[in-house]
């Protein structure tokens, strides 16, 4: 059964685990380099701290440590762990599937490659299951987002097959999970003298190189920026500085009849 087989330990029959481990380290380095270059190029972190400092001046109250802790906990549980920014509905469900799928897939990869990748390793079946389930969740969540929910298709009537630079992250992410799954499946068929599994191993490697090598150009780093921005927003709300924005109007919501005819989805 494919789900319980560690694909990296089969691979170890032909490729030494040290190469797999070096590949993982290289991917981590690519994430760090790509994110740092992005931060230097966009100056977003610099702006973020300037803005936070400026906003502090208009704070109407000093938060106690307890209050600060409450805001941090709420940010972790709501904004980060359940992507509350996306509201209720399929957009959030698709994101959660992709996000947790990816976390499981990467965790499973790291554990199997670093702890159980020698040919005689006995991998507890939990890890291959985590890896395969994570990959399936990523393909389902990412595919759902890309085919149906991304803004060009959902709101701007672009055909689903139009691909632009903004699709780099989601497509490379889905491709790496998908090719990983197919590679693992073909390997368990024991096609020793055939080439199918090797083709998918190459595609798996290439899609990972694109995913991690593309950090500078893709939306990859949002997984680091979004939590920081959410924390800042929640703290600014709690201390009354509100990022120097006016408070919500205390007035009845009168948007005319059109608002109930169609859900707002034209961004």
Residue 45 has a CB neighbour count (10 Å cut-off) of 16
* Helix pair angle (90-115, 168-188), 10° resolution: 50
Cβ-in-10-Å burial (0-12, 13-18, 19+) of 205 comes to: middle
> CB of residue 136 vs ligand HEM: minimum separation in angstroms?
14
Spatial distance between the Cα atoms of 39 and 11, rounded to a whole number of angstroms: 37
109 binds ligand HEM (CB under 6 A): no
Nearer to ligand HEM, 199 or 210 (CB): 210
102 binds ligand HEM (CB under 6 A): yes
152 binds ligand HEM (CB under 6 A): no
Read off the tokens for 261: 């005819």
Nearer to ligand HEM, 12 or 139 (CB): 139
> CB of residue 141 vs ligand HEM: minimum separation in angstroms?
8
DSSP letters of 29-52?
HHHHHHHHHHHHHH-HHHHHHHHH
Site for ligand HEM in 189-218 (CB under 6 A): none
52 binds ligand HEM (CB under 6 A): no
144 binds ligand HEM (CB under 6 A): no
Choose the binding region for ligand HEM from 2-10, 124-132, 201-209, 220-228 (rule: CB under 6 A): 220-228
């Amino acid at each position: 059964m494919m789900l319980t087989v560690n694909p990296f330990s089969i691979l170890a029959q032909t490729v030494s685990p040290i190469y797999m481990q070096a590949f993982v380290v290289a991917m981590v380095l690519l994430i760090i380099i790509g994110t740092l270059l992005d931060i230097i190029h966009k100056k977003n972190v610099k702006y973020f701290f300037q803005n936070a400092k400026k906003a502090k001046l208009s704070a109407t109250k000093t938060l106690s440590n307890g209050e600060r802790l409450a805001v941090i906990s709420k940010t972790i549980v709501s904004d980060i762990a359940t992507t509350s920014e996306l509201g209720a509905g399929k957009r959030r469900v698709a994101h959660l599937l992709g996000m947790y799928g990816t976390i499981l897939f990467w965790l499973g990869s790291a554990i199997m490659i670093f702890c159980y990748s020698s040919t005689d390793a006995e991998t507890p079946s939990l890890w291959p299951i985590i890896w395969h389930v994570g990959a399936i969740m990523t393909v389902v969540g990412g595919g759902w987002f890309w085919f149906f929910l991304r803004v060009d298709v959902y709101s701007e009537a672009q055909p689903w097959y139009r691909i632009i630079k903004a699709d780099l992250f989601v497509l490379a992410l889905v491709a790496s999970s998908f090719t990983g799954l197919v590679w693992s499946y073909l390997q368990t068929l024991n096609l020793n003298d055939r080439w199918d599994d090797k083709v998918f191993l190459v595609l798996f490697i290439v899609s990972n190189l694109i995913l991690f090598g593309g950090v500078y150009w893709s939306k990859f780093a949002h997984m680091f920026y979004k939590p920081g921005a959410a924390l800042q927003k929640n703290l600014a709300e709690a201390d009354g500085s509100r990022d120097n924005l006016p408070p919500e109007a205390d007035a009845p919501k009168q948007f005319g009849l059109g608002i109930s005819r169609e859900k707002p989805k034209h961004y």
